[in-house]
Amino acid sequence: MEVTMTSLTTFYLSGIIGKEAFGADGDAIGVIKDLLINAVPSGLNDPNQQHVIGVKLKIHKETNYYSFKTFRVVKAREMLNVTCSGLIELGKEEVDNGLLLVENILDKQIVDMNGRKLVRVNDVRLATLPAGTFAVAVDIGIEGLLRRIGISIPIKRFLSLFKINIPAKFILWGDVQAIDFSNLNLKLSKSYAKLHTLHPSDLADILEDLGKKSSTSVFSALDEEKAADVLEELETNAQIHIVESLPVNKVADVFEKMPADEVADILDELEDDKAELLLKEMEAESSQEVRELLEYDDDMVGSIMTTDYLSFSETKTVEEILKELRIKKPEAAELYNLFVTEKDDKLIGTFNLRDLVVAEPDTKISSIMRSEPVSLFDDQKATAIAEIVSKYNLLAVPVINQNEQLQGMVVVDDVVEDLISERKTRKRK
């Protein structure tokens, strides 16, 4: 009877693990325990990252890593046959820079980049092409789970009698990000490259859903700018875990990229000794801003204000200010309200981005600013904020001291966040 073999072989990881590999003479060489793919791409969409480069093979009682180039997977009537023309042992660097599919992917949580959420891998689909064998997709559906325990086909046949299908759910390999690496030698900053494309809020949600060990590993691999944005978005308990899990110098570097008020909020939740260590590790200027905010009682306006704001002299022209803004590249919230101050930092006016855009370049700020602006005192009760924001429809309110010197501003985003946090706390109680 003639057996037809496919020239393009697609198979599942669960179908090859535990299979015996046979030599050219037909004798069994060893048992396949895992497949190794290239895990350090040269670019974000590098197809070589999907390439199966090695196999973890158990020969008698010893387990070693061998090149997959000499292995061939053939499917005959849904049965997989694995042959090997000769064993070529892999070097340590190739193994260290590889990703083991069973150890690091199967049954592990990964990030679905399109869905921006964590999913669990039930199987991996692979394909053998003329250029080699590649990981094509991950199976996160129920069928993948049933296939793993060997009852997929019987159950599918049974359900077909009732015209019921088991939905298979695949995510293409290029749309996933592995995050649970057992191989600590992996170059994590490159391996987590895809995560940098996610919005900080989405990444924060993912970190909160991860186990403590994995969330710390992923956070550590982010650059300082991204880490700062993500830390701001995390819930308080997740922030504390990250801060307490990482070295003081690493946390201090991230804090320096964050608004002082956000740092103050986190330090408020830490033990005094730990907070002081972090403040001493930070650069003097950043540390001093945070210390000043920590002096305010929690129910004061000063405890909520941000010290990241933009102020200018009234003699500046529109063109001069626009040039400064292009150089500084401020955060969006800093542009909610722009301030005019005298030499002693006394607040004398405000203007907004629209005022700048519609004015002629040589117009002086004194001509477009609003004199006697609405403001809050830093030692006022925080309850006054909501009324001011609502009454004057402001996105940011300047905060002054008793000498009318500008100290910072309260951003409406922070007020809303505080209100949401209070409601969540009440619900828990």
In tens, the pLDDT along 48-67 reads 568 899 999 999 889 999 99
pLDDT cut 70: percent of the chain above it: 83
**Is 60 in contact with 67 (CB distance < 8 Å)?**
no
In the chain, the N- to C-terminal Cα span, in Å, equals 73
Task: Check pLDDT > 90 for residue 254.
Answer: yes
Angle, helices 272-281/248-255, rounded to nearest 10 degrees? 70
Q: How far apart are CA 366 and CA 363, in angstroms?
A: 8
Structure tokens at 149: 């325990």
Give me the CATH code for the 198-295 domain, please.
1.25.60.10
278-336: per-residue pLDDT in tens? 999 999 999 999 999 999 998 899 988 999 999 999 999 999 999 999 999 998 889 99
14-51: per-residue pLDDT in tens? 889 999 999 988 899 999 999 998 876 554 455 556 88
Tell me the mean pLDDT in the region 385-393. Answer: 85
pLDDT computed for residue 99 by the predictor:
86
User: pTM value?
Assistant: 0.71
pLDDT computed for residue 216 by the predictor:
87
Tell me the mean pLDDT in the region 207-232. Answer: 88
SS3 55: strand
Which is it for strands 376-377 and 396-400: parallel, antiparallel or unpaired?
parallel
70-97: per-residue pLDDT in tens? 999 988 777 888 999 999 999 888 888 8
Contact residues for 176 (Cβ-Cβ < 8 A; gap 6+): 110, 111, 112, 113, 138
Task: Check pLDDT > 70 for residue 4.
Answer: no
Mean pLDDT of the chain: 83
* Residue 266 neighbours by CB distance under 10 Å: 22
pLDDT computed for residue 121 by the predictor:
86
CATH class of domain segment(s) 311-421: alpha beta
Task: Check pLDDT > 80 for residue 232.
Answer: yes
Residues 139-174 as b or e (16 or more Cβ within 10 Å = b): bbbebbbbbbeeebeeeeeeeeeeeeebebebbebe
pLDDT computed for residue 3 by the predictor:
39
pLDDT cut 90: percent of the chain above it: 47
Q: How far apart are CA 24 and CA 204, in angstroms?
A: 52
Q: Domain spans of the chain? A: 9-176, 198-295, 311-421
Task: Check pLDDT > 50 for residue 115.
Answer: yes
**Is 267 in contact with 293 (CB distance < 8 Å)?**
no
**Is 349 in contact with 371 (CB distance < 8 Å)?**
yes
Residues 211-230 as b or e (16 or more Cβ within 10 Å = b): eeebbbbbbbbbeeebbbbb
pLDDT computed for residue 157 by the predictor:
52
Query: Radius of gyration of the chain from Cα atoms?
Result: 29
Q: Residue 116 — left, alpha, or beta (φ > 0 → left; ψ -120 to 50 → alpha)?
A: left
Q: How confident is the model at residue 129 (pLDDT cuts 50, 70, 90)?
A: confident
pLDDT computed for residue 182 by the predictor:
55
311-421 and 198-295 share a CATH fold? no
pLDDT computed for residue 279 by the predictor:
95
pLDDT computed for residue 284 by the predictor:
92
